[in-house]
Structure 1
Amino acid sequence: MSLLQTAPTCDPDDQWCVWVSELTGNDWLAQAADWLIAKPLALLVLLIIAFVARWLLHRMIDRVTNRAAEGLPTPMLKHKPGKDVPATVLSGRRVQRAQTMGSLLKSIASIVVFTITGITALAQLGFAVGPLIASAGIVGIALGFGAQSLVTDFLSGIFMIVEDQYGVGDAVDLGEAVGTVEAVGLRVTRLRDVEGTVWYVRNGEIIRVGNQSQNWARTVVDVPVSHEQDLFRVQSVLKDVAHEVWEDEDFRSVILEEPEVWGVQDMTPDWITVRVTLKTAPLEQWGVAREMRERIKARFDHLGIELARPARVLIHRDNRAAGEDLETTGAPDGSGTPASS
């Protein structure tokens, strides 16, 4: 039996093989042409379509995120600032959030496009993709049950980014860890505390988030004064000091609204606490508070206004062994610290 008699015939659905077979009358040549020319050409076309689709999707995502970063309304990233929050305060955060969302959407788009391309390429090569898809579904379900914590971390990370709970540079309190966010990932969040320790927190373990730098912040300064001081005079001095800081060129872009003296915040047998507040830009509240305390101390010294002092209680006892008298200073919390007199 000759080779031509045992040569495989073309599949009627394979137009390229049928065309070469009719043109040359050789089934072997038709099969070789199908594998060496038709299938590689089809795979090349698939790759070109995949890269073009990926480029178009990335371009569309860039347009959406750029509009969001510029503050233009977009259906996906539209952010409505509060009435009392200036647009300049939100601009940096808006850009950061748009970039994070853009990176996430680009990654998802690339994964979807190349997954579809890979399955289509396998089908083009003649492999049965039905069992492969079914097997992938079973494996996915098994991994979902076996890696529930990982899935929880990823879903929590996606919702944190979409809901804009925090971003890079924010000062946050995540419960066990408190510090400045250095990186926000889909699985973990990295932040650094004031002592320089880097904390890695799984997104699925974050139950609540306290963000100290979102939109605006508030400087709260409590000033304890003695009962002998004139409270109206103290409040007037605090208001003058706060306005001086507000009108200072170095703080003009930091303090957002006119300072307020809220008045008496607390009363104890030893002192009266007067509170003054200033609305500031995010992450600027601590610097403003330090400046306020320095100026309040200097102004009080100049005007002779005394800050509260804890009561001093003298305790005398007969210590025949050492012959000492002990003096105890009362602290605001009621504890005493003994010191040799």
Structure 2
Amino acid sequence: MTFAALKTGLLSAPKIDWDFLLGVPLRIVIIIIGAIVLNMVMRLFIRRFSTAVAKGTVGSEKSAGHSKFSSTAAEAQRTGIEPTVIRERRAQRAKTVGRMLSSVTTIIISVIAVLMVLDQMNFNIAPILASAGIVGVALAFGAQELVKDYLSGFFMVIEDQYGIGDTVDLGEAVGEVEDFGLRKTAVRDLTGTLWHVRNGEIMRVGNLSQGWARAVLEIPVNYSTSMATYHEITESVTNSMLQDKALASAILERPEVAGVQSLSAEYRVIRTMIKTKPNLQWMVERAFRAELTNEFDRRGITIPIIQETVLRTLPDTSDALGSTTTSTADDRPQFAHAGRRRNDDSPSPLPSDDEIRSTTDEAGTDSPDGDS
């Protein structure tokens, strides 16, 4: 092909409509590229925010006066939680928050980009917007509980109210958290029942696994045992418990005798408190009670018994004057305590629902310092 023939062919070819290509198609391409870039930028910010959550550097009331939380080692020393557990909890929070924010951001940007592209192609998007408004109103009424669940779960994750493995009291559901998502929380109680609780229905959370715990014991002591003697018994019991490595690692501070909690005709109740690692307060309570009863037996101290008087009518009418008899608890045979409590040396660390609720009740009625 000669140059003259090629020139003739190019001149005879149809002209390209550059005005059209620089119009709608170019704007559509710009919209698509802009949506992709915006999505990437938003994901970058979300990753940084998730990293801040994972490192524990998100602003909080705990960091009053500081821009960031303390390091993992310092927080572990302050709260008593293992550093590996703290890192796992933060990683879980970061993953959950990042996944949710990335999905919501991608959906919103994609919907806006599609509507802008349809508008550039001269489609009438007014019916679409009107339909979207109607759907939005319907969702506002029909799916408001679902939105409430997700928002509640999101703030629970951000505030780190609880995580997998924590022992919590959610009201009806009391036990260990096995699964935690943005919509619902799965809690398994002591009987093995798995409770699925919607996050929007959780009005308050009692977390017994964060930071540290406190074993609160109400010990009935007869009036013949003085407070000084009880202090000596407590020290002896504590020294015996600290010989066990498991109990020694669970106890953070030596027991504190708060004083007399209540009085009755038969005995007085002395409150004793022990600061422990989280989720181990019930094991420490059982071990303390078991060792305390053994120490009572060694010292010859009996557990006070409530005096009871039972009145009953005899069917024999001939004995009118002696128609009632009195029986007191003093007439009952006294049994030694040591024989039936020797097997309490290995207490179970699993708490019952009543123990969890009683612990949360004590936390709600007493001062944080444990003063009576």
Task: Give the TM-score normalised by the residue count of structure 2.
Answer: 0.66
User: 1:249: Cα distance to partner?
Assistant: 2.4
- Structure 2 equivalent of residue 20 of structure 1: none
Any unmatched runs of 5+ in structure 1? 1-6, 18-33, 331-341
Task: Determine the C-alpha separation between the residues in 1 that align with 2:21 and 2:325.
Answer: 105
- Structure 1 equivalent of residue 178 of structure 2: 182
Task: Determine the C-alpha separation between the residues in 2 that align with 1:212 and 1:177.
Answer: 14
Describe the SS at the equivalent of 2:246: coil
* 1:157 corresponds to 2:145: no
Higher normalized contact order (CA 8 Å, seq sep 6+, divided by chain length): 2
More divergent stretch after superposition (140-149 vs 215-224):
140-149
Give the letter for the 1:225 counterpart.
V
* 1:12 corresponds to 2:42: no
Match of residue 285, structure 1, among 270, 281, 290: 281
Task: Determine the C-alpha separation between the residues in 2 that align with 1:228 and 1:278.
Answer: 25
User: 1:115: Cα distance to partner?
Assistant: 3.8
- Structure 2 equivalent of residue 197 of structure 1: 193
More divergent stretch after superposition (242-251 vs 38-47):
38-47
Describe the SS at the equivalent of 2:200: helix
- Structure 2 equivalent of residue 239 of structure 1: 235
* 1:257 corresponds to 2:249: no
Describe the SS at the equivalent of 1:155: helix
Give the 5 Å matches for 1:30-45: none
Residues 249-270 of structure 1 show CA distances to partners (whole Å, capped at 9, x for unaligned) of 2223221122212222221001
- Structure 1 equivalent of residue 168 of structure 2: 172
- Structure 2 equivalent of residue 60 of structure 1: 48
User: 1:296: Cα distance to partner?
Assistant: 0.6
Give the letter for the 1:296 counterpart.
L
- Structure 2 equivalent of residue 217 of structure 1: 213
Describe the SS at the equivalent of 1:201: strand
- Structure 2 equivalent of residue 89 of structure 1: 81
In 2 relative to 1, CA 16–289 (structure 1 residues): closer, same or farther, beyond 3 Å? Answer: same
Give the letter for the 1:86 counterpart.
R
2:50 and 2:94 in contact (8 A); partners too: no
1:226 and 1:309 in contact (8 A); partners too: no
Task: Give the TM-score normalised by the residue count of structure 1.
Answer: 0.71
Task: Determine the C-alpha separation between the residues in 2 that align with 1:261 and 1:246.
Answer: 17
2:93 and 2:157 in contact (8 A); partners too: yes
In 2 relative to 1, CA 254–163 (structure 1 residues): closer, same or farther, beyond 3 Å? Answer: same
Task: Determine the C-alpha separation between the residues in 1 that align with 2:263 and 2:76.
Answer: 32
More strand by share: 1
In 2 relative to 1, CA 215–128 (structure 1 residues): closer, same or farther, beyond 3 Å? Answer: farther
In 2 relative to 1, CA 123–268 (structure 1 residues): closer, same or farther, beyond 3 Å? Answer: same
User: 1:11: Cα distance to partner?
Assistant: 7.6
Residues 273-316 of structure 1 show CA distances to partners (whole Å, capped at 9, x for unaligned) of 12221101111100111111111111111111111112243546
Describe the SS at the equivalent of 2:178: strand
In 2 relative to 1, CA 206–310 (structure 1 residues): closer, same or farther, beyond 3 Å? Answer: same
In 2 relative to 1, CA 179–288 (structure 1 residues): closer, same or farther, beyond 3 Å? Answer: same
User: 1:93: Cα distance to partner?
Assistant: 4.3
Let me know the Cα RMSD of the aligned residues.
4.0
Describe the SS at the equivalent of 1:238: helix
